[in-house]
Amino acid sequence: MIAVDNLTVRFGPVEAVGDVTFTVRAGESFGLVGESGSGKSTVLRAIAGLAATAEGRVLFDGAAVRAPRGKGFHKAVQMVFQDPYGSLHPRHTVDRILSEPAVIHGLPEVDRRVEAILAGVGLGPQFRFRFPHQLSGGQRQRVAIGRALMPEPTVLLLDEPTSSLDVSVQAEVLNLLQRIKAERGLTFILVSHNLAVVAHMCDRMAVMNRGRIVEQVTRAGLRQGRAAEPYTRQLLAASKGFDREFARELIDYA
């Protein structure tokens, strides 16, 4: 469904991502995991066409996609951003936020679609004409997910979709995403620094460090501690919680 082939992204003289290659099958959940600044969100933005590709290419359903991305690509591939408050227009109601993608893509029965999407993401009709500042963080992220679902995509790009939420709300949103994926047969690419989230959500994952993929591992392999690279093993150990002795032994894998 999605293939990234020798992708390189530069911001001026800085190479943010270098020679990244992976494939994602239809219906699969694929994770990109790594510490902050490892380049994982930049890869996601390059797939969406929000970051210019210096080298390499992105393929969707077997065909290379051009820059700028076409309308058909954006109907099929939608992105959910990390900060639901920053990604929602503060002066637009939930109704307008959800309606806009349907209008852009010429979809019929907009009112019915808005009502169905609100119900599908666990928000009642009373939320339809509220503004983002009148919603909690979890409710805003549900609206952002609903907006991404409005054009009926086949792929969702999820950029740390729960990192700005309270721990109690994170599980609700992750469960919502899993339910939506099962109901709609979606393909997910999930970016996170949280290995527990990736292991819960994804079938396979790529571990990134300093803009490059250092290892690809399956969910079963991660849970069984079968990581081959020292950096991955260090991330796995760090995800289990703070340990003073472990912190002293941390290595900076440049």
**Model pLDDT, residue 150:** 95
pLDDT digits 0-9 by tens, 66-85: 989 999 999 999 999 988 78
Nearest of 167, 172, 162, 197 to residue 31 by alpha carbon: 197
- The phi, psi pair for 119, rounded to 5°, reads -65, -40
- Give the global pTM: 0.90
Nearest of 135, 210, 195 to residue 165 by alpha carbon: 135
Both tokens assigned to 52: 């210019």
> 70-86 burial, b if ≥16 CB within 10 A, otherwise e?
eeebbbbbbbbbbebee
**Model pLDDT, residue 10:** 94
pLDDT digits 0-9 by tens, 109-119: 999 999 999 99
* Alpha helices, DSSP H, located in 15-128: 40-48, 71-76, 94-104, 110-120
Torsion of CA 40, 243, 247, 200, to 10 degrees: -10
Amino acid at 169: V
